[in-house]
Structure 1
Amino acid sequence: MTVMAERTSHMTAEEFERLASTAPETVTLEFIDGHVGEKAVPDGAHAALIMWLLRQCMQSRPDLDLDPTQGLKVGTYRKGRARPDGSLVPIDYFADQGEWADPAGVLMTVEVTSYDSDTDRRDRRDRQEKPAAYAAAGIPVCLLVDRDRYEVVVHSNPDREAGRYRDLHTASFGEAVVLPEPVGFTLETETLKNYAR
């Protein structure tokens, strides 16, 4: 075990926050299930997809914000820190929260898979570890846009104790996807084909 791996395996959330605050702007760190991970720097298509999704949310739910930058306290007993690609919340919910916010008011998180040299490891985090952390935090819906598989996965009905979502719905790009309450709108996904390889 390397010194860094040994150090991070026993790291507290407070120690992680100090470490993350000193990271250069080109690096975004997360702390999930006791492990420090680096979030990929998004490519242009990733950013365009987030902006498209932001517009869809604003048109369907003008009473909500989709924040692409806010960090969340997630995981068992709030010992994790994640930075979703988007967090759907009531307007101004994050206004006084600081860098790492309480997820109690988050209606949906969004994760979009990335393309880089470490895609497989990062995407495992997006597909498995982060939805588990969001479920444990009680976030009602987690939307995964999987650009490798050309599909959207809607996780809903969180089981906080088990750290998993009870319901999963998978749809191919191009299909209409119902985002269940409390989100409560249908997402037309044909445009997502433009952002995949």
Structure 2
Amino acid sequence: MPPKRRPGPLWRRCPAWQGWAGNVGVCLDGTNEPVVPDLVLAPRGCPRWEERELLSSGLMLVAEVVSKGSAEDDRLKKPAIYAGGGVPVMLLVDPLTRPASVTVYSDPKEGQYQVTSTVPFGREIQVPHPIGFTLDTSVLEEVL
């Protein structure tokens, strides 16, 4: 069954985008390994693997929210996983760092993101192409 679309502020910016929060399967191009990001942004008509999972190379952005149980995977493993799968932008929301922070990873090449930018909660951060907008991270403080 295809993932259900859920409304949210990031994907309201453009009617050509679809967004899912939680429980959406993503199939990594190349390895066909499944992953389940906390948030996914994709264009309408994003290619799928076997009708269920979205193909990683068709995504625009994935986001992970760090928790005590996911900290090591989210911070150390997932950037390489998503870069290797061709996801152009990864957003890492980390309420556990002091101060809490948001990191944007972009420009994936050879399994690594080439550009990384981090700001503390409350500051703005540029989310590059294909999203292309400035995110006010103070909105994240309200939901975490």
Using structure 1 for the length normalisation, give the TM-score.
0.62
CA distance 1:100–1:63, change in 2 (3 Å): closer
User: CA deviation digits over 1:84-125, x for unaligned, max 9?
Assistant: 0111101242678533332121011010112xxxx25x2110
The CA distance in 2 between the partners of 1:157 and 1:92, in whole Å, is 23
User: Are the equivalent residues in 2 in contact too, given 1:147–1:195 (CA < 8 A)?
Assistant: no
Q: Is structure 2 residue 28 aligned with structure 1 residue 74?
A: yes
Bigger Rg, which one: 1
User: Secondary structure, in 3 states, of the residue corresponding to 2:10?
Assistant: helix
Aligned to 1:93: 46
Q: 1:155 aligns with which of 89, 92, 105?
A: 105
The CA distance in 2 between the partners of 1:98 and 1:148, in whole Å, is 36
Instruction: Tell me the CA shift for residue 61 of structure 1.
Output: 2.4
Aligned to 1:167: 115
User: Secondary structure, in 3 states, of the residue corresponding to 2:9?
Assistant: helix
User: CA deviation digits over 1:159-193, x for unaligned, max 9?
Assistant: 1x2x2101100011111111100011111111222
Counting only pairs closer than 5 Å after superposition, residues 104-123 of structure 1 correspond to structure 2 as 104-114=57-67, 119=68, 122-123=70-71
User: CA deviation digits over 1:56-98, x for unaligned, max 9?
Assistant: 21332232111123211227x3242110011110124267853
User: Are the equivalent residues in 1 in contact too, given 2:49–2:55 (CA < 8 A)?
Assistant: no
The CA distance in 1 between the partners of 2:25 and 2:61, in whole Å, is 13
User: Are the equivalent residues in 2 in contact too, given 1:140–1:158 (CA < 8 A)?
Assistant: yes
User: Secondary structure, in 3 states, of the residue corresponding to 1:152?
Assistant: strand
User: Secondary structure, in 3 states, of the residue corresponding to 2:141?
Assistant: helix
Aligned to 1:83: 36
Aligned to 2:79: 131
Aligned to 1:7: none
Question: Could you tell which deviates more after superposition, 147-156 or 84-93?
Answer: 84-93
User: Secondary structure, in 3 states, of the residue corresponding to 1:182?
Assistant: coil
More helix by share: 1
Using structure 2 for the length normalisation, give the TM-score.
0.83
Number of residues paired by the alignment? 136
Letter in 2 for 1:148: L
More strand by share: 2
The CA distance in 1 between the partners of 2:34 and 2:20, in whole Å, is 16
Identical counterparts, % of pairs: 31
Gaps of 5+ in 1: 1-50
Letter in 1 for 2:83: A
Gaps of 5+ in 2: 1-5
Aligned to 1:179: 127
